[in-house]
Amino acid sequence: MTTRRIRAAAVAVATAGAVAACSAPGGGGADGGASADSVVIGVASEPDTLSPLLGYGKDGNSKIFDGLLARDADLGLKPALAKALPEVGDGGRRYTYTLREGVKFSDGEPLTADDVVFTYRTVLDGRTNNTARSELDAVEEVRAVGDDKVVFTLEYPYAAFAARTVLPIVPEHVAGGQDPNTGSFNTKPVGTGPYVLTGWRKGEKLTFRANPDYWGGAPKVKKLTMAIIADDDVRATRLRSGDLDGAVLPPNLAATFEEDDGRRTYRATTYDFRAVTLPTGDPVTGDTAIRRALDLAVDREAMVDKILDGAGRPAYGPLPLDDPWFAKGVARDRDLGEAQRLLDDAGWKPGEDGVRAKDGRRASFTLFHPSGDKVRQDHALAYASDAKKAGIEVKVESATWEVIEPRMRHDAVLAGFGSTGDPDFGLYTLLHSSLAGDGFNNMALYDNPAVDEALDAGRRSQDREDRKAAYDDLQRALVENPGYTFLTHIDHMYVLADRWDGPTTQTEPHEHGFASGPWWNVEDWRPKK
């Protein structure tokens, strides 16, 4: 989740009561009813911007925009604004895309290669506040050849580059005359996508209408509303009352709808994990023995069973157990005895109160979790309980992101991350030392030369076996020197009225609800007959 989106979710908790008291998101209560051409979805948070220049929709699934490529239900790449997958040349350093004919932006202006060039050059401009710029580090040059061809030249062969070109394309004739950081395009976007934004009441809802001239065909769902409801219980209540057609819900609340004949429950597997950041600059969390002991002491299976109600998997690192890039032998059992031995050998001796100490310093640190997030709160409390059994005191505190952000460099945080598409996408920004302390990138300020070397090798190699070996080395290095305590991978749960043919799920990233979920392909839905 982006910095701004996480913050928005936390802040919105304070206004949940007001949101709950609003009229039906679509107005007049009708949109939550039985109309098959209008859909109201309840989500926990909203983006701070709708501009791809600042990171919105960078992983695909935006309803307002399209990228050169898109992902299908199995996360395979398919043509979108490009008429075909790219032609790759020069040993993997040149990617050429030919644009689809006849595509227009929602204001009627045609899409051209200049729009693609403008989008990528603006994202890569250091003056643009895009925290995901490092994802395009390989790009040396992007240029237009005529109106319908775009050529990317890379500094080095980057095996995952094609998957980066799901980045949404914006119109130069609209955004080109604005400051990308402050311009009106951030809240009044124009794109080529299946839907057009018609209104945005911050903290309450976003409304969209179908784009009748969409190049992929006019959607059958004519109106889409995303209702921003931070409180899980309020979303469930409004869904049950018929005020919403669908909602993202935690597992325990989603389970209450499983016997409802008029609704379907969807469970999406994900790369979304929960982990505790362990800042290297703190004398306690920066101690390798403390980190390894916490990794051994935590009961991941219990967290999956008790907190997630089984809707998830233990996390032994940033990649899920069933991912083809997951390293064999990295999964490990809880071993409290070994955790205690490690601490003993490192000089952390038990005190009278049961908390260990070394050189007069207690093995104690603060762990923040964002207020209003019950799942993270439960993870934090379970983590503290497990740590106590090893003689480590974890003081759990709830706060808004405004309070947490300035303290992330020194205090632990119950964080959530995870990206789909390629291991480089999620691992580089999480672990590379060059991004230490860069906003929500590398929050633990992790600095491990062996991990940096593996990340660089995985990013630059074209050979899959070489890349697999690099990422295997990385995952094993994380066991020996963890910068995070990885806890669980979380399945995302959704409930949706059973009135359409077409809803399904993809394997999802950390960000979900607004762009992911069974409505990721709402433009393809058809009313049930």
pLDDT tens digits, residue range 244-297?
Answer: 999 999 998 999 999 999 999 999 999 999 999 999 999 999 999 999 999 999
pLDDT, residue 3, reads 34
DSSP bridge partners of 39: 224
Least confident of 25-29, 31-35, 134-138, 499-503: 25-29
Residue 6: pLDDT above 80? no
Cα gap 442→429, rounded to integer Å: 6
Q: What percent of the chain clears pLDDT 90, i.e. is strictly above it?
A: 85
CA 224 to chain centre: 22
Q: Are 201 and 229 within 8 A, CB to CB?
A: no
List, for residues 224-250, the tens digit of each pLDDT value: 999 999 888 999 999 999 999 999 999
Q: At what angle do helices 288-297 and 336-345 cross, to 10 degrees?
A: 170
Token pair 């109309």 is at which residue? Answer: 35
Tokens of 397: 């505190």
pLDDT, residue 131, reads 83
State phi, psi for 438 to the nearest 5 degrees.
-85, 85
Q: Are 119 and 167 within 8 A, CB to CB?
A: yes
The one-letter amino acid at 202: K
pLDDT, residue 525, reads 97
Tokens of 107: 């204001």
Whole-prediction pTM: 0.86
Closest CA to 434 of 442, 426, 423, 424: 442
The one-letter amino acid at 496: L
- Provide the 8-state DSSP code for 145: E
Cα gap 210→200, rounded to integer Å: 16
List, for residues 68-80, the tens digit of each pLDDT value: 999 999 999 999 9
Question: Residue length, the chain?
Answer: 529
List, for residues 445-478, the tens digit of each pLDDT value: 999 999 999 999 999 998 999 999 999 999 999 9
Residue 11: pLDDT above 60? no
pLDDT, residue 25, reads 43
Please compute the mean of the pLDDT values over residues 327-344 and round it to a whole number.
97
Please compute the mean of the pLDDT values over residues 37-66 and round it to a whole number.
94
Please compute the mean of the pLDDT values over residues 98-124 and round it to a whole number.
98
Q: Please list the alpha-helical segments (H only) found in 209-287.
A: 232-241, 251-254
For residue 364, what are the CA distances in angstroms to 118, 197, 377, 387? 50, 49, 18, 10
DSSP 487-527: EEEEPEEEEEES-EE------B-S--SSS-STTTTGGG-EE
Closest CA to 312 of 266, 270, 259: 270
Question: What DSSP element (H or E) covers 11?
Answer: helix 3-12
Cα gap 262→523, rounded to integer Å: 22
Cα gap 508→492, rounded to integer Å: 8
State phi, psi for 29 to the nearest 5 degrees.
80, -5
- Provide the 8-state DSSP code for 111: P
Please compute the mean of the pLDDT values over residues 372-380 and round it to a whole number.
92
Cα gap 415→238, rounded to integer Å: 28
Q: Are 274 and 376 within 8 A, CB to CB?
A: yes
Cα gap 202→22, rounded to integer Å: 13
pLDDT, residue 28, reads 36
pLDDT, residue 369, reads 96
Question: What DSSP element (H or E) covers 392?
Answer: none
- CATH number listed for the domain at residues 273-490: 3.10.105.10
Topology given in CATH for the domain delimited by 1-46+202-266+494-529: D-Maltodextrin-Binding Protein; domain 2 (3.40.190)
Does the structural domain 48-188 have CATH classification 3.30.470.10?
no
Helices and strands (H, E) in the chain, number of each type:
15, 24
Cα gap 476→486, rounded to integer Å: 13
pLDDT, residue 34, reads 58
Listed by start position, the domains of the chain span 1-46+202-266+494-529, 48-188, 273-490
The one-letter amino acid at 258: E
Cα gap 155→255, rounded to integer Å: 49
Mean pLDDT, the chain, rounded, equals 91
Cα gap 135→429, rounded to integer Å: 8
Token pair 């931070």 is at which residue? Answer: 230
Cα gap 505→516, rounded to integer Å: 8
Residue 494: pLDDT above 90? yes
- Provide the 8-state DSSP code for 91: G
- Measure the CA dihedral 58/60/66/71, to 10°: 140
For residue 381, what are the CA distances in angstroms to 290, 386, 411? 18, 9, 16
DSSP 21-62: HS--TTSTT-TTSS-TTEEEEEES---S---GGGTTTTTS--
pLDDT higher at 198 or 21 = 198
The one-letter amino acid at 458: G
